Amino acid sequence: METVTTTAPAPTGRRSLPLSVVAVAAATFSVVTTEMLPVGLLTSLSAGLRVSDGTAGLTVTLPGVVAALAALLLPVAVRRTDRKHVLCGLMLLLGAANVLSALASGFAVLLAARIVVGLCIGGVWAVAASLAVRLVAAESVGRATAVIFSGIAVASVLGVPAGTFLGELAGWRWAFGAVAVLGFAVAALLATVVPPLPADEPVRLGVFPGLLRLRRLRIGLIAVALLVVGHFTAYTYVRPVLERVPDLGAGLVSGLLLAYGVAGIAGNFIGGSLAARDPRRALLMISAALGGVVLLMGPAGGSLALSVVLLVAWGLAYGGVSVSSQNWVMAAAPGAREAASALFAGVFNVAIAVGALAGGRVADGIGVTDVLWVGGGLAVAGLGVIALAAREEG
């Protein structure tokens, strides 16, 4: 595991966090927004490139697979490279990949660009997770970590409505163009405000098998995998699902997804507050709510009012998943937080990929609305894993 060293003057007490922390949060926001962007564009993207909704879902699946590998391997590959340079390079690469996506002449070109996006996602997740301790004084590390991870949480719930809004306003190509500009802007911000962050000791692959022998960490990773697979099995196809609700026009879908995003931000802070006190109880509550809401979305599909309420509740529940599960992982491996964060990022991104792939197979093979039953069932399975662990631990 990398030995971290404070390389910049850090604030003390309750002073405002330095702009460098905000810049790193902007990087996490950018990569996860890019990852989630196709979910809100599936209908127009599949029509524009003449592929099925299920095939278009590969634009979420492939980056997730690549990100999972990159989260584990990139910290090993960059070894002693200054982490500031790594982050800046990844953000420039992200911007270039999104430019290629916007200009894609066919689906194969778009998939190639999304593979590059996956490399950036995994790399930024893995590097950013360990930077708080190097950017602020010890007493501010908790707040700085929360801010950095809030970029992931906020992007997870806002990426889809943002993509939907931009796609409907100007077309899916302009949506990719917009996130390309965001990537370049964040790279410039990082280069300007983040101090040098040299790596004192290279990350080694040998630490990961030892971490997986920690039972509590394994349980947390299994639970988050089930929750995230379940969520993305259903949510990757939320737009086609909503378009089948009576009296819900295309214009209202964008508004509903925005409401989902706002609820998700609230869920992030609520979940973070609960998890700071008891990560296990927080995940129990979140998984119960997530599974129940997704399962109810199917039977409620004939009611506009009930569908709206459940979608907002869905956002509230899922908004707390990343911050609560991250707290669980940190508590389970306090002596190896960087490596544990890399494992967490890997599992999370594999789960996104598997969920999107499973949703595509269900949507194409059975029906779009059936993704709700499969996704909800997986989330309930996650609840079962956490509940069983809680019972065994007393």
Is the pTM value of this prediction over 0.85? Answer: no
Every domain of the chain and the residues it spans: 19-393
Give 63-103 pLDDT, tens digit per residue: 888 988 898 888 778 877 888 999 999 999 999 999 999 99
C-beta separation of 120 from 237 below 8 A: no
Once rounded to an integer, what is the mean pLDDT over residues 295-314? 86
The tokens describing 366, both together, are 């059975």
Question: Average pLDDT of the chain?
Answer: 83
Q: Residue 9 has what pLDDT?
A: 45
| CB contact burial 186-203 (16+ within 10 A = b; e otherwise) | bbebbeebbeebebeeeb
Winning range, highest mean pLDDT, from 70-79, 158-167, 357-366, 375-384: 375-384
Res. 296: pLDDT tops 50: yes
Once rounded to an integer, what is the mean pLDDT over residues 31-47? 83
pLDDT band of 236, cuts 50, 70, 90: confident
C-beta separation of 334 from 217 below 8 A: no
pLDDT band of 392, cuts 50, 70, 90: low
Which fold, 19-393? Growth Hormone; Chain: A; (1.20.1250)
Q: Residue 59 has what pLDDT?
A: 86
Q: Which of 171-175, 338-342, 373-377, 378-382 bottoms out in mean pLDDT, i.e. has the lowest?
A: 338-342
Q: Which of 142-151, 155-164, 178-187, 314-323 bottoms out in mean pLDDT, i.e. has the lowest?
A: 155-164
C-beta separation of 223 from 386 below 8 A: yes
Higher pLDDT, 298 or 227: 227
C-beta separation of 268 from 299 below 8 A: no
Q: Which of 175, 166, 156 is nearest to 314 (CA)?
A: 156
